Structure 1
Amino acid sequence: MHRIKRLPQLMHSLKARLIISAMLLVLVLLPIVGVTLNDAFKLQVKSASVKELKAYVYSILAVTEVDNQQLLMPEVLLENQFNVIQSGLYALITVPVKPSAPLATDTTDNFAAKLVENNAIESKAVESQPTTLVQQTNPSNNSTRKVAWRSNSLLGIDLSAAITTAVHTAAIFPQPEKGQGQFSEIMLNGEPHLVYGFSASFETEQFNKLGQPQLTRFPFTVYIIKDQSDYQLQVEAFNQQLWRWLLILMAALLSIQLLWLWWTLKPLTRLQRELAAIENGHAKQLDEHYPTELNAVAKQLNTLLNTEQNQRKRYRNALADLAHSLKTPLAVIQSQKDLSPQSFEQVNQINRIIGHQLKRAQSAAGSAWHLGVAVVEVSDKLVRNLPKIYCQPRITITEDVDRKAVFKGDASDLTEILGNLLDNACKAANAQVLLQVKTEQAQLMITIEDDGMGIDEALHTQIFERGTRADTYQQGHGIGLAIVRDLVDSYQGQLTVSRSTALGGAKFQLIFAV
């Protein structure tokens, strides 16, 4: 389930999209090419086999003779495989039988028995062979045929099963039209064989008893039967070679595409890494040595960063000048001896408001995306200095800080936040203050606890208002926590107050997104 949820997130990555599309292209296209090549090779091999069988048919026709309606064949053929028993290459000639022939009504079973008997007789001429009949029904030519001749390679082979099957299916043993050839497949002795049949006819002119010329015809069909083992071996060998090399090619293409994608996307990875460095405060600008398509983006981002930094610097300088210019008149007013207590309090209030507003205005939260500071750099300084101020009674600050934790903001803002909270904790504590900083689930969590009296739950909201101070704090003007609240809000963080379970006093917890 977790992987299913991660899949839509993964598809938002350009790198993931390119890698998946490249893999699909290779894993889908190459198998399709392999299947297509395999089918094409099978057709080519089968076509070559048909041509080979046709050539054997012509070689049989070349030595076939007819005398007085009798088929004459030589004892030995030129192609030696026809002379070797069960060589895998066989020849067979059938002739039609007139309907009035005595054996024309023989059934298939009778033919099979007679064919087995006929296979046991080796003849030198067709005239001495016993005629074997088969009532072979063909869709285009219903006729009864008999085996007129067979090659010596067929001796010892039972053709009854093959021809009986052909009789029932009327298609496996082909019966083509005169002058036409037909290709088929049969099972012979449990092995697949290719069959090519070709029908021809000898025509001779003879004179009848009246001395008139009369045309006589001797139709017959030549069958060449060849074992498919060579055909299958060629196909299997080609398949093995084809898929072996396709797998090698697939692995090579995937490796090349992954390397190519890595090299192509390397500038984007570098841009992402540099943006992360700027975000964490480790760099101020992008390197402008990028490809043409990204170089303009890098320049614009650098221009934006420089403009923002310069504006922020001028803004802070102007606020500092304003604060400096207001200090002198306020100091003069406060030095007046005839100033009433009410007027003196109002001047102090003005001073506090000005300080508070200046702190808010100087916050860098609006540009925090490209700022970053290690929390430990700020916390270590505060932990070293605060015990020197609060030495009577002595306050011990325990620090438990993740050294890799980063605050996505300005260092001065983090100093202001931690400084105020730690200062208030030291004021309220009896002897111990605990500072914890950790990063969990893309959140920066800062916790400050003390062993003082704690803060009444009714005051948890009021203490963040300007001028409000908890009774346990004997010093300060009551604007420190208000400044902390405003800074935390500007960074869209969370600030909560509760009672510490470890030390018993107050517990302030800050949560920021990282």
Structure 2
Amino acid sequence: MTPAPAEPDPRPAPRARRLRIAQPRSLRSRQVWAASLGLIAFLALAGYALDRAFQSTAQSGMRERLHSYALAYASSDFARDGSVIPPWDPPDPRFRRPGSGLYAQIVLDSGQWESDSAQGPKLPDGAMLGPGQQQLEGPLPITRINGTPGEVYRFGYGLLWSDADASGREIPYTVYIMEDTTALGRQVAAFRAALWRYLGGAGAVLLLLQVLVLRWSLRPLRDVIDDLKRVQAGTAAGMSDAHPRELEPLTESINAFIQSERENLERQRNTLADLAHSLKTPLAVLRTRLDSDTGEAELRVEVDTQLRRMNDLVSYQLARAARSGHQLFAAPIEIEPQAEQIVVGLEKVYAGKGVLCEFEIAPDARFYGETGDLQELLGNLLENAFKWARSRVLLTVTEGAQVPGRRAGVVLTVEDDGPGIADDRIAYVLQRGVRGDERVQGHGIGLSIVQDIVRSYRGELQVGRSQELGGARFEVVLPSGL
């Protein structure tokens, strides 16, 4: 009998947890740890370098000192039998004290001479050096006068003695000066103790100053957090301007988001209010008709009329709400392809007029926003120009003012060779629902839509007379973005 297959476990398979090294969550902790490790590493390297420099200096001083002792013993004389006659007064009193740690040897081919201090300790034997040859060795092992092992540094100096008389006798010899390593070791140990004590104290002071500097340098971030908390609590309308230059893009972006959200909320409220206000009249008409003795046929026609009107109102308000607002960080959009698409359609609509549309678009000009907003801007302005133009329409697009660290703005200009708009009628024509000529078909909301879009991008709409074509001139100036 074949066993039934095991049912799958309904519990979700455990996810493999990635091992993560514990990291401090605070920026200040990260900075303190990083700076502290760097400071410790620097102090350690500095201490090592100073220690090596001191040892090198101490050894160099010891070499010079032993060299001067060797020169003192180099003035030794020799008897007729070749034995050494050392100086009467040694260069240092320790040469007379047995086991003092400072020893002198004069090595000859026939034997060697040792200072009084070398009586007792067992010193290493020295070889003959050539005349003028110098050599520093060590540490070399010795046995001290008390029998304990020790070490010495040994400096050798090869010399050649010549007899002053006419015999011309020459005796080669080598002077060795040895010094116990204890003295140099004590100097190095004392220096190291003082060095690390001072470096440790300096490191502690620098760490404290570092914490204070980091606390002071990170204070603007704490101020930003405090501003955000005040905004969240509703006690502040936005981020303050009292922040360092490095944080200005952050605070400006946050303020832009806050302003955008408030505008969206206000726009939604206005849209709902406008929709409710627009629907009041059709609903009131329907209520009046229902309450009256209107016939069924007439009532049906009235209901159909008011329903179409309400449908148009709802469609318009939804389209208006969809057009409103824009993305703060939208990708750049090329303007010429959008303009060509709109002009092709308008040329078909106004084919009977034979209007020619010309483009003067800067290659680097870009629109930073939503594609629908650009289409609404160009569509309404170009359609208005085609409607009033006699034969020519000109679209000019240039880059706006450059602000360092921000994306460039853009200037859109649409001109026609029509009758133009009188200066005293510009404000009237820009009102919602107003047409420049009641005999011309339209709803009178195209330019108001343009104003709404331009206002949402914090731009400006300027209307005047075209100097080149003689008709109306509409200029949209969109500032540099974040």
User: Which whole-Å CA distance do the structure 2 matches of 1:283 and 1:361 have between them?
Assistant: 31
The two structures have a TM-score, normalised by structure 2, of 0.52
Going from structure 1 to structure 2, the CA distance change for 1:5 and 1:218 (only over 3 Å counts) comes to closer
- Cα deviation, 1:3-58, whole Å, max 9, x if unaligned, reads 72564x96xx8766654553343122221111111101001001111111112112
Match of 1:178 among 98, 120, 131: 131
Once the two structures are TM-superposed, the CA of residue 194 in structure 1 deviates from its matched residue by 1.0
Matched with 1:230 is: 183
Matched with 1:258 is: 211
User: Which whole-Å CA distance do the structure 1 matches of 2:49 and 2:180 have between them?
Assistant: 26
Say which SS state the counterpart of residue 121 (structure 2) adopts.
coil
Match of 1:242 among 177, 189, 195: 195
Say whether 1:42 aligns with 2:55.
yes
Q: Is the 8 A contact 2:157 2:175 kept in 1?
A: yes
Say which SS state the counterpart of residue 4 (structure 1) adopts.
coil
Alignment map for 1:20-419 (pairs within 5 Å): 21-73=34-86, 77=90, 79-97=92-110, 146-147=111-112, 149-159=113-123, 162-163=124-125, 173=126, 175-185=128-138, 186-189=140-143, 190-204=149-163, 213-278=166-231, 283-295=236-248, 298=251, 301-302=254-255, 305-306=258-259, 308-310=261-263, 312-334=265-287, 336-337=289-290
Once the two structures are TM-superposed, the CA of residue 322 in structure 1 deviates from its matched residue by 2.2
Once the two structures are TM-superposed, the CA of residue 158 in structure 1 deviates from its matched residue by 2.6
- Cα deviation, 1:317-360, whole Å, max 9, x if unaligned, reads 24303213313422442454469899999999x999x99x9999
Q: Is the 8 A contact 1:193 1:225 kept in 2?
A: yes
Does 262-271 or 310-319 show the bigger shift? 310-319
- Cα deviation, 1:129-150, whole Å, max 9, x if unaligned, reads xxxxxxxxxxxxxxxxx22x11
CA RMSD of aligned residues (A): 4.4
Say which SS state the counterpart of residue 42 (structure 2) adopts.
helix
Say which SS state the counterpart of residue 255 (structure 2) adopts.
helix
Say which SS state the counterpart of residue 287 (structure 1) adopts.
coil
Moved over 6 A (4+): 338-348, 357-363
The two structures have a TM-score, normalised by structure 1, of 0.49
Does 28-37 or 297-306 show the bigger shift? 297-306
Q: Is the 8 A contact 1:175 1:182 kept in 2?
A: no
Going from structure 1 to structure 2, the CA distance change for 1:3 and 1:249 (only over 3 Å counts) comes to farther
Q: Which runs of 5+ in 2 are unaligned?
A: 1-16, 144-148, 329-482
Once the two structures are TM-superposed, the CA of residue 91 in structure 1 deviates from its matched residue by 1.2
Once the two structures are TM-superposed, the CA of residue 310 in structure 1 deviates from its matched residue by 4.2
Say which SS state the counterpart of residue 289 (structure 1) adopts.
coil
Going from structure 1 to structure 2, the CA distance change for 1:310 and 1:240 (only over 3 Å counts) comes to same
User: Which whole-Å CA distance do the structure 1 matches of 2:63 and 2:155 have between them?
Assistant: 7
Q: Is the 8 A contact 1:91 1:223 kept in 2?
A: yes
Number of paired residues? 299
Aligned-partner residue type, residue 20 of structure 2: I
Aligned-partner residue type, residue 255 of structure 2: N
Once the two structures are TM-superposed, the CA of residue 202 in structure 1 deviates from its matched residue by 1.3
User: Which whole-Å CA distance do the structure 1 matches of 2:158 and 2:225 have between them?
Assistant: 78
Matched with 1:4 is: 20
User: Which whole-Å CA distance do the structure 2 matches of 1:334 and 1:5 have between them?
Assistant: 72
Say which SS state the counterpart of residue 188 (structure 1) adopts.
strand
Matched with 1:142 is: none
| Identical positions, percent | 27
Once the two structures are TM-superposed, the CA of residue 285 in structure 1 deviates from its matched residue by 0.6
Aligned-partner residue type, residue 160 of structure 2: S
Once the two structures are TM-superposed, the CA of residue 238 in structure 1 deviates from its matched residue by 0.8
Q: Which has the higher contact order (CA 8 A, sep 6+)?
A: 1
